[in-house]
């Protein structure tokens, strides 16, 4: 008997009818002779609704521990209902919270990392012939505190469980039928990829492609988990995420991603001397703030300006941290800017192909759009621009790199040829 981990996102279980469809899909795999472990997210917009409710009762920043207590209830609803739906089809199922499933994390509320998995109860339930339903996105510290893994953490739960129980495959079901060259909601002629390498997918996920969580891809790569992304609405072939992926002839850029969760922070008039950047970014790191692009301008009169990007959710906290070290660093002013988006191109073939980044700059320039920040690596180039013309930029880049197709794009319903 092969062992399969199946993960269904919030849109896939967004209402009773979709929940029934998912239950039937799981039972199909069970009847094929597979052992099934299913990881589920909260239904639809449940998490957003809970966050909004918390803000009504606790303006400002609610206690992180209590937010984890609140948000984990969304997945508990999903696993219980899905287990009931499977029982109604005549099959045995059991639902587990993250901590019942043996998911242990570090002691960090809101975006904890998995530290250990002890899946004894899962293995026992599988041995008893039951379908196991596990709440994604959550775990527990060694001290018994409930934690969450951050947005997209259900993907990480699924892949980590697949590694822990040595599953044959981990299938991520979503409202699109695979991984596309860009967001098919923006570009209707996007190219569906039959396969993509772990490294390319990790870059796309880190750069804003929402179809997979970056930490899930890290787990898959580190533990060699066979990962497939496919639709919960049809039985089309999905996209295989693997160690090495075949490159299509003439296709150097494999994907275009974007991230609207960007704020630029500029620190102006910093005295130019060794250790200044270290002080700033050590303080930000100690506050658990991730910094992305960093750019320092030229030095004038012994003073320098530099900018960095952080997530919008960390913007105010980052400004407070930087203001807190003003006496130590000594700068003239700190400013921030929103309404930005980071657009990125990704492809393993970029490293050996001259002019790929230059074409990106040229396309954006021809649209009359200013590039505010740039970041590059061997397989990606990112530009931060103003958000107002994002769709136009994505479409132009997609055409410029020869990614347009006439294939059917599927998004959460019957596929259409556009």
The DSSP secondary structure of 30-86, one letter per residue, reads HHTT-EEEEEE--STTHHHHHHHHHHHHS-S---HHHHHHHHHHHHHHHHHHHHHHH
Q: Is 410 annotated as a binding residue?
A: no
Q: Quick check: is 28 in a domain?
A: yes
Q: Could you tell me the pLDDT band of residue 271, with boundaries at 50, 70 and 90?
A: confident
Q: Are residues 19 and 123 in the same domain?
A: yes
Q: Are residues 142 and 285 in the same domain?
A: no
Q: Could you tell me the pLDDT band of residue 246, with boundaries at 50, 70 and 90?
A: low
Question: Domain boundary residue among 303, 337, 371?
Answer: 337
Q: Quick check: is 71 in a domain?
A: yes
Q: Quick check: is 220 in a domain?
A: no
Q: Could you tell me the pLDDT band of residue 378, with boundaries at 50, 70 and 90?
A: confident
Q: Are residues 25 and 123 in the same domain?
A: yes
Least trusted range by pLDDT, from 150-164, 240-254, 262-276, 291-305: 240-254
Q: Quick check: is 242 in a domain?
A: no
Q: How high does pLDDT run on average in the chain? A: 91
* pLDDT value at residue 147: 97
Instruction: Compute CA distances 256 → 30, 207, 270, 391, 400, whole Å.
Output: 36, 9, 35, 12, 11
Q: Quick check: is 183 in a domain?
A: no
Q: pLDDT digits over 189-225, tens only?
A: 999 998 999 999 998 988 888 788 888 999 999 999 9
Q: Are residues 170 and 268 in the same domain?
A: no
* pLDDT value at residue 417: 29
Instruction: Compute CA distances 343 → 208, 389, 392, whole Å.
Output: 9, 11, 12
Question: Domain boundary residue among 174, 203, 232?
Answer: 174
Q: Look at residues 8, 302, 278 and name the one whose alpha carbon lies nearest to residue 131.
A: 8
Q: Is 206 helix (H, G, I), strand (E, B) or coil?
A: helix
* pLDDT value at residue 152: 78
Q: Are residues 8 and 127 in the same domain?
A: yes
Q: Quick check: is 48 in a domain?
A: yes
CA distance 104 to 118: 8
Q: Are residues 280 and 161 in the same domain?
A: no
Q: Are residues 33 and 133 in the same domain?
A: yes
Q: Are residues 283 and 159 in the same domain?
A: no
Q: What is the domain-level CATH number for residue 46? A: 3.40.1160.10
Q: pLDDT digits over 299-319, tens only?
A: 778 888 999 999 998 999 999
Q: Is 8 annotated as a binding residue?
A: yes
Report the share of the chain in percent with pLDDT over 90.
72
Question: Domain boundary residue among 148, 174, 200?
Answer: 174
Q: Is 10 annotated as a binding residue?
A: yes
Q: Could you tell me the pLDDT band of residue 248, with boundaries at 50, 70 and 90?
A: low
Say if residues 305 and 267 touch (Cβ distance below 8 Å). yes
Q: pLDDT digits over 125-176, tens only?
A: 999 999 999 999 999 999 999 999 987 799 999 999 999 999 999 999 988 8
Q: Are residues 144 and 21 in the same domain?
A: yes
Q: What is the domain-level CATH number for residue 323? A: 3.30.70.260
Q: pLDDT digits over 319-345, tens only?
A: 999 999 999 888 899 999 999 999 999
Q: Are residues 169 and 267 in the same domain?
A: no
Q: Quick check: is 132 in a domain?
A: yes
Q: Are residues 267 and 159 in the same domain?
A: no
Q: Is 75 annotated as a binding residue?
A: yes
Q: pLDDT digits over 83-120, tens only?
A: 999 999 999 999 999 999 999 999 999 989 999 999 99
> At a CB cut-off of 8 Å and minimum separation 6, what does 373 contact?
264, 293, 295, 307, 309, 383, 384
Q: Quick check: is 211 in a domain?
A: no
Q: Is 258 annotated as a binding residue?
A: no
CA distance 126 to 143: 28
Q: Are residues 19 and 165 in the same domain?
A: yes
What does pTM read for this prediction?
0.83
Domain count within the chain:
2
The residue segments making up the domain with residue 321 are 262-337
Start-to-end C-alpha separation, the chain: 41
């Amino acid at each position: 008997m092969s062992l399969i981990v199946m993960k269904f996102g919030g849109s896939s279980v967004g209402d009773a009818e979709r929940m029934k469809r998912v239950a039937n899909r799981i039972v199909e795999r069970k009847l094929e002779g597979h052992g099934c472990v299913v990881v589920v997210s909260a239904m639809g917009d449940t998490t957003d609704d809970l966050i909004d409710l918390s803000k009504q009762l606790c303006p400002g920043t609610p206690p992180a521990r209590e937010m984890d207590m609140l948000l984990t209830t969304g997945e508990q609803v999903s696993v219980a209902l899905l287990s009931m739906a499977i029982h109604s089809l005549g099959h045995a199922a059991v639902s587990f919270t993250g901590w019942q499933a043996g998911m242990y994390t570090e002691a960090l509320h809101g975006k904890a990392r998995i530290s250990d998995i002890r899946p004894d109860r899962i293995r026992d339930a599988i041995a008893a012939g039951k379908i196991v339903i596990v709440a994604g996105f959550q775990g527990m510290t060694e001290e018994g505190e409930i934690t969450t893994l951050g947005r997209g953490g259900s993907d990480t739960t699924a892949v980590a469980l697949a590694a822990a129980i040595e599953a044959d495959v981990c299938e991520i079901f979503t409202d699109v039928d695979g991984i596309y060259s860009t967001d098919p909601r923006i570009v209707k002629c996007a190219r569906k990829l039959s396969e993509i390498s772990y490294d390319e997918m990790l870059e796309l996920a880190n750069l804003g492609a929402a179809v997979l969580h970056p930490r899930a891809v890290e787990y898959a790569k580190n533990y060699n988990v066979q990962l497939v992304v496919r639709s919960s609405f049809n039985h089309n072939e999905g996209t295989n995420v693997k160690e090495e992926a075949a490159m299509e002839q003439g296709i150097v850029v494999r994907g275009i991603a974007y991230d609207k969760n960007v704020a630029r922070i500029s620190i102006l008039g910093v005295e130019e001397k060794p250790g200044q950047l270290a002080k700033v970014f050590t303080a930000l790191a100690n506050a658990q703030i991730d910094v992305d692009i960093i750019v320092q301008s030229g030095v004038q009169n012994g003073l320098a300006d530099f900018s960095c990007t952080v997530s919008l959710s960390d913007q105010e906290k980052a400004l407070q941290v930087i203001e807190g070290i003003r006496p130590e660093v000594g700068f003239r002013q700190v400013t921030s800017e929103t309404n930005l988006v980071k657009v990125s191109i990704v492809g393993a073939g970029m490293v050996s192909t001259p002019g790929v980044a230059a074409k990106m700059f040229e396309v954006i320039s021809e649209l009359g759009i200013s590039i505010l920040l740039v970041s590059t690596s061997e397989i990606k180039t990112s530009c931060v621009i103003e958000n107002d013309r994002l769709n136009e930029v994505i479409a132009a880049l997609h055409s410029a790199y020869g990614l347009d197709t006439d294939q059917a794009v599927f998004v959460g319903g019957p596929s259409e040829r556009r």
